[in-house]
C-alpha cells in the first residue's frame, strides 16, 4: 500500500472478502452468505415463500449500507461490490436468487451508471431462470440535478428511508407492484443535501481523492468520495444546517402541520457531537415552520469511507409512509420496534439454481489465416495492456479523484488481473474471438462498476466482429477496434463529447480506418488508433461532462482529463507497442 495514510486492512486484494467475513462473524444471528460468488449477504430470518424479495446493494465503503440493512422486516439480501463499485451481475444474481420467495424480487440502489447497468443485466439473467426481478433507483440528492431533471439525481443517504419503506411493504405481504409503489412514494417524499470537510482515503492507495484547503468545504456531496457540485467557505454547524435545509424545505413544500422523519448522517469521520449540533439546528428550523418531527436518526448510516462531512435527509410523511417507517425490523444497523413479528409465510422452498454452460466449438480449418496478428500475438497484446494499466494505476485513480470517486485505476487493475487469469486458463487452441469472450467474462465477473459491463460488451462485440478469422489482417484489426467501440457505445449509451471513454475510442476507430484506407498494415492501424485515442483523451480536458458521476459537477468537470478516456488510450498504446 502506497501513501502516508494507514488503514487497518490486510491484503487489499481480499479486502471485501475480509469485510464480509467480519460482518457475518459479528452478526451470526442475522446474516449468512449464499451463492457461488461469496458476495451475497443474506438475512437468516428474511426471505420466505410468498413474500417479495428485497435486495439492496452497491459498492462497499458505505458501511453500514448496504449489508447492514439486511434482516427481518427490511432487506432480504445485499450483494457487495468492490470499494465504490457496483456489484457484478453474478453477485447480484446470487442475492436475487437467495431473496426470491416465488412472487418477485425488487432491487433497490442508488442512481449510478454502474449500478444501473449491472443490476439491469442481473434482471435479465434472473428472468432466464423464471424469477421476476425489477429495479428501483433512489434519487434523493437535490444537489446532483435540478428538479425538472430529478430522474437524473443520485441516490445517497435517502436510500435509508426508501429501503425501510420498501422492506416494510414487502414484509407486510404486499405484491411486487405495490412494493414498487411504496418505494416510489418514499422516494418522492425524500430529499437530501450533504457537505464534506475532507476527502476520503482509498484503502488500497492510502491517498485522498482530492485536496480540500483548510477553511473550505465541498457542497453537494455524493457518497463515493467525489467532489461536490461547488466549493465554499466552511461554516458553523448552524450555517451548514441552514444551507442544507433550505432547498430541502423548498422542494418538499414543508409548512405548518406537516410531519417529517429526519436523518442526520455522518460520512465516516464526523463526530456525533457535530451531528447532534446539526440536528439541533434542524429541529429548531422545523419547529419555527410548524413542522413536526415524527422520528430522528443521528449517526453514520450511509458513509463515504472516512470522509469528514454530513448530510441531512428529510422524508415528508403521510399516514401510510408513517406505518411503513414504524414497521418493526431487525438488522445489524437498524432495529425498529420491540421485536419483529413472526413470519406470516412459510420458509422458502428448496430451489436448485439453473446453470447454463455453453461449450463453444470452432472449426479452425474454416477460419481465415492471413494476417500478422495471431492468437499468440493477441495474448501478448493483452498482457502488455495489463502491465500498462498496472503501471498507470495510481495516476488513473488520481485523475478520477478530480472528477469522480478516485477508483478508476484500481477498478481497471482488478479487471486486468482477472484478464491475466483468463488468459492463463484459456486453452492453447483458443481463437482470438474465444479469447475475447473469456476476457469479457473476466471483466464482468471481477469488476462490476461501469467498466465491467462496458468492457465486457466491448470484448464480446469485438470478438464477434472477427469470429471468422484465426489471424487478424489490417482490415480485421480495424474491425476489431471498431467492435470494441461499438460494444461500449451500445452498452453505455454515451456520445462523442460526453467526456467519457467514448471520446478516446471513437477517434481511435476513425484514425484506424483512415490508415487502413491509405494501405496501412495491422501495426500501422493499431499505431494510428493509439494516436487517435491519445488525442481524443487529451481533448476531454476541455469538455464539460455530460454523462456519469462527473456530470453532477457541471463546469467543475472542465479542466480535467476523463480517466476512462485516458485508460482507453493506455490500452491502445500498449496493444500497438506489443505488435511492433
User: What is the CB-side half-sphere exposure of residue 103 using CA atoms within 13 A?
Assistant: 19
Instruction: Name residues whose C-beta falls within 8 Å of residue 283's C-beta, 6 or more positions apart in sequence.
Output: 262, 293, 296
Residue 519 zone, left/alpha/beta (φ > 0; ψ -120 to 50; rest): left
Per the annotation, the verdict on 279 as an active-site residue is no
Q: How far apart are CA 107 and CA 154, in angstroms?
A: 16
Neighbours of 7 (CB within 10 A): 17
C-alpha cell, 262: 429526519
How big is the CA angle at 15 (ends 79 and 68), to the nearest 5 degrees? 40
Burial of 159 (0-12, 13-18, 19+ CB in 10 A): buried
The SS3 of residue 307 is strand
Residue with cell 485515442: 533
Burial of 173 (0-12, 13-18, 19+ CB in 10 A): middle
Specify the length of the chain in residues.
580
Instruction: Name residues whose C-beta falls within 8 Å of residue 343's C-beta, 6 or more positions apart in sequence.
Output: 45, 48, 72
- Give CA 374 to chain center in angstroms: 36
Question: Which of 27, 30, 62, 224 is labelled catalytic?
Answer: 224
Residue with cell 444537489: 143
Q: How far apart are CA 344 and CA 341, in angstroms?
A: 8
DSSP state of 160: H
* CA separation, residue 281 to residues 194, 241, 268, 313 (Å): 15, 6, 21, 13
How big is the CA angle at 540 (ends 193 and 578), to the nearest 5 degrees? 125
Evaluate whether 16 touches 65 at the Cβ level (below 8 Å): no
Q: How far apart are CA 137 and CA 64, in angstroms?
A: 19
H or E element in which residue 571 lies = helix 563-578
Q: Which residues are tagged catalytic?
A: 224
Amino acid at each position: 500500500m502506497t501513501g502516508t495514510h494507514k488503514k487497518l486492512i490486510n491484503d487489499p486484494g481480499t479486502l471485501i472478502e475480509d469485510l464480509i467475513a467480519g460482518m457475518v462473524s459479528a452478526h451470526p444471528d442475522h446474516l449468512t452468505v449464499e451463492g457461488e460468488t461469496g458476495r451475497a449477504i443474506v438475512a437468516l430470518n428474511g426471505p420466505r415463500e410468498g413474500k417479495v424479495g428485497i435486495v439492496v446493494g452497491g459498492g462497499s465503503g458505505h458501511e453500514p449500507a448496504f449489508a447492514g440493512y439486511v434482516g427481518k422486516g427490511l432487506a432480504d439480501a445485499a450483494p457487495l461490490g468492490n470499494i465504490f463499485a457496483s456489484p457484478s451481475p453474478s453477485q447480484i444474481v446470487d442475492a436475487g436468487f437467495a431473496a426470491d420467495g416465488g412472487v418477485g424480487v425488487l432491487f433497490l440502489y442508488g442512481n449510478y451508471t454502474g449500478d444501473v447497468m449491472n443490476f439491469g443485466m442481473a434482471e435479465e439473467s434472473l428472468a432466464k431462470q423464471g424469477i421476476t426481478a425489477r429495479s428501483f433507483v433512489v434519487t434523493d440528492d437535490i444537489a446532483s440535478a435540478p428538479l425538472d431533471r430529478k430522474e437524473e439525481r443520485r441516490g445517497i443517504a435517502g436510500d435509508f428511508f426508501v429501503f425501510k419503506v420498501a422492506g416494510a411493504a414487502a414484509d407486510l405481504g404486499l405484491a411486487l407492484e405495490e412494493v414498487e409503489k411504496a418505494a416510489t412514494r418514499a422516494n418522492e417524499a425524500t430529499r437530501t443535501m450533504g457537505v464534506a470537510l475532507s476527502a476520503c482515503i482509498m484503502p488500497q492507495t492510502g491517498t485522498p481523492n482530492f485536496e480540500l484547503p483548510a477553511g473550505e468545504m465541498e457542497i453537494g456531496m455524493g457518497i463515493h468520495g467525489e467532489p461536490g457540485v461547488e466549493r465554499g467557505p466552511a461554516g458553523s454547524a448552524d450555517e451548514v444546517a441552514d444551507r442544507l435545509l433550505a432547498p430541502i424545505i423548498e422542494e418538499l413544500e414543508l409548512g405548518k402541520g406537516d410531519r417529517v422523519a429526519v436523518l442526520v448522517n455522518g460520512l465516516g469521520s464526523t463526530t456525533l457531537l457535530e451531528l447532534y449540533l446539526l440536528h439541533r439546528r434542524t429541529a429548531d428550523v422545523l419547529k419555527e415552520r410548524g413542522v413536526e418531527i415524527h422520528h430522528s436518526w443521528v449517526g453514520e448510516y450511509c458513509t463515504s469511507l472516512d470522509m469528514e462531512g454530513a448530510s441531512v435527509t428529510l422524508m415528508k410523511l403521510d399516514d401510510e409512509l408513517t406505518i411503513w417507517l414504524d414497521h418493526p425490523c431487525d438488522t445489524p444497523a437498524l432495529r425498529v420496534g420491540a421485536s419483529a413479528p413472526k413470519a406470516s409465510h412459510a420458509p422458502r422452498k428448496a430451489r436448485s439454481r439453473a446453470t447454463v454452460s455453453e461449450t463453444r466449438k470452432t472449426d479452425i480449418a474454416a477460419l481465415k489465416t492471413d494476417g500478422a496478428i495471431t492468437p499468440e500475438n493477441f495474448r501478448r497484446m493483452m498482457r502488455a495492456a495489463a502491465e500498462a494499466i498496472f503501471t498507470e494505476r495510481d495516476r488513473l485513480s488520481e485523475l478520477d479523484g478530480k472528477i469522480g470517486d478516485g477508483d478508476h485505476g484500481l477498478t481497471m487493475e482488478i479487471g486486468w488481473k482477472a484478464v491475466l487469469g483468463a488468459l492463463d486458463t484459456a486453452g492453447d487452441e483458443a481463437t482470438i474471438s474465444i479469447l475475447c469472450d473469456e476476457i469479457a467474462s473476466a471483466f464482468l465477473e471481477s469488476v462490476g462498476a461501469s467498466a465491467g459491463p462496458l468492457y465486457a460488451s466491448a470484448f464480446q462485440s469485438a470478438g464477434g466482429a472477427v469470429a471468422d478469422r484465426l489471424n487478424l489482417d489490417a482490415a480485421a484489426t480495424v474491425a476489431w477496434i471498431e467492435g470494441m467501440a461499438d460494444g461500449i457505445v451500445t452498452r453505455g449509451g454515451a456520445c462523442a463529447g460526453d467526456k467519457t471513454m467514448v471520446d478516446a475510442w471513437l477517434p481511435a476507430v476513425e484514425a484506424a480506418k483512415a490508415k487502413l484506407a491509405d494501405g496501412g498494415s495491422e501495426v500501422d492501424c493499431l499505431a494510428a488508433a493509439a494516436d487517435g485515442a491519445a488525442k481524443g483523451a487529451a481533448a476531454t480536458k476541455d469538455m464539460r461532462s455530460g454523462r456519469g458521476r462527473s456530470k453532477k459537477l457541471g463546469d467543475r468537470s472542465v479542466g480535467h482529463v476523463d480517466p476512462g478516456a485516458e485508460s482507453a488510450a493506455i490500452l491502445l498504446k500498449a496493444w500497438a507497442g506489443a505488435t511492433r
